[in-house]
Protein backbone atom coordinates (compact mmCIF):
# COMPACT_ATOMS: atom_id res chain seq x y z
CA UNK A 1 0.00 0.00 0.00
CA UNK A 2 1.26 3.43 -0.89
CA UNK A 3 0.09 6.01 1.65
CA UNK A 4 1.17 8.91 -0.58
CA UNK A 5 -1.47 7.87 -3.10
CA UNK A 6 -4.07 7.87 -0.34
CA UNK A 7 -3.13 11.43 0.62
CA UNK A 8 -3.53 12.56 -3.00
CA UNK A 9 -7.01 10.99 -3.08
CA UNK A 10 -7.92 12.73 0.18
CA UNK A 11 -6.78 16.09 -1.22
CA UNK A 12 -8.94 15.49 -4.31
CA UNK A 13 -11.95 14.92 -2.02
CA UNK A 14 -11.40 18.37 -0.52
CA UNK A 15 -10.93 19.95 -3.96
CA UNK A 16 -14.19 18.41 -5.22
CA UNK A 17 -16.10 19.80 -2.23
CA UNK A 18 -14.59 23.27 -2.60
CA UNK A 19 -15.26 23.46 -6.33
CA UNK A 20 -18.94 22.41 -6.19
CA UNK A 21 -21.36 25.24 -6.93
CA UNK A 22 -23.46 26.11 -3.90
CA UNK A 23 -20.95 24.90 -1.31
CA UNK A 24 -19.91 27.85 0.86
CA UNK A 25 -17.59 25.80 3.05
CA UNK A 26 -17.21 22.51 4.84
CA UNK A 27 -16.11 21.14 8.19
CA UNK A 28 -15.92 17.91 10.19
CA UNK A 29 -14.52 16.15 7.14
CA UNK A 30 -13.50 12.57 7.83
CA UNK A 31 -11.93 10.39 5.16
CA UNK A 32 -10.86 6.81 5.70
CA UNK A 33 -9.92 3.77 3.71
CA UNK A 34 -11.87 0.54 3.70
CA UNK A 35 -9.82 -1.81 1.58
CA UNK A 36 -9.18 0.01 -1.68
CA UNK A 37 -12.19 2.29 -1.26
CA UNK A 38 -12.73 5.62 0.51
CA UNK A 39 -15.48 6.43 3.00
CA UNK A 40 -16.28 10.13 3.45
CA UNK A 41 -18.22 11.92 6.21
CA UNK A 42 -18.69 15.66 5.80
CA UNK A 43 -20.67 18.71 6.82
CA UNK A 44 -21.41 21.05 3.93
CA UNK A 45 -22.16 24.73 4.52
CA UNK A 46 -24.85 26.06 2.17
CA UNK A 47 -26.78 29.32 2.02
CA UNK A 48 -29.52 29.24 4.66
CA UNK A 49 -31.93 30.76 2.14
CA UNK A 50 -31.85 27.83 -0.30
CA UNK A 51 -34.67 25.29 -0.20
CA UNK A 52 -34.28 21.82 1.24
CA UNK A 53 -34.39 20.51 -2.34
CA UNK A 54 -31.56 22.85 -3.41
CA UNK A 55 -29.45 21.83 -0.40
CA UNK A 56 -30.08 18.20 -1.24
CA UNK A 57 -29.08 18.79 -4.87
CA UNK A 58 -25.83 20.47 -3.77
CA UNK A 59 -25.09 17.42 -1.62
CA UNK A 60 -25.83 15.09 -4.54
CA UNK A 61 -23.54 17.08 -6.83
CA UNK A 62 -20.66 16.66 -4.37
CA UNK A 63 -21.40 12.97 -3.87
CA UNK A 64 -21.77 12.19 -7.57
CA UNK A 65 -18.55 13.99 -8.49
CA UNK A 66 -16.60 12.17 -5.78
CA UNK A 67 -17.93 8.81 -6.87
CA UNK A 68 -17.17 9.62 -10.51
CA UNK A 69 -13.56 10.72 -9.93
CA UNK A 70 -12.45 8.56 -7.01
CA UNK A 71 -12.90 5.05 -5.61
CA UNK A 72 -15.49 6.29 -3.10
CA UNK A 73 -17.71 3.65 -1.55
CA UNK A 74 -19.99 5.98 0.40
CA UNK A 75 -20.45 9.65 1.28
CA UNK A 76 -22.37 10.61 4.44
CA UNK A 77 -23.29 14.28 4.41
CA UNK A 78 -24.86 16.71 6.85
CA UNK A 79 -25.98 19.98 5.24
CA UNK A 80 -25.58 23.04 7.47
CA UNK A 81 -27.34 26.33 6.68
CA UNK A 82 -25.11 29.39 7.03
In this structure, are residues 44 and 63 in contact, taking their beta carbons and an 8 Å threshold? no
Across 1-82, the runs of DSSP E, i.e. the strands, are 25-34, 37-46, 72-81
More confident residue, 62 or 1: 62
Residue 6 confidence class, pLDDT cut points 50, 70, 90: confident
Give, to the nearest 10 degrees, the angle between helix 52-69 and helix 3-19: 150
For residue 5, what pLDDT is reported?
66
Architecture of domain 3-81 in this structure: 2-Layer Sandwich (3.30)
Average pLDDT, integer, range 17-26: 97
Amino acid sequence: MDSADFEEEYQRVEKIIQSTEGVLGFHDLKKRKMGDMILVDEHLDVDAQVSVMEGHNIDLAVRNQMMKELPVLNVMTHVDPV
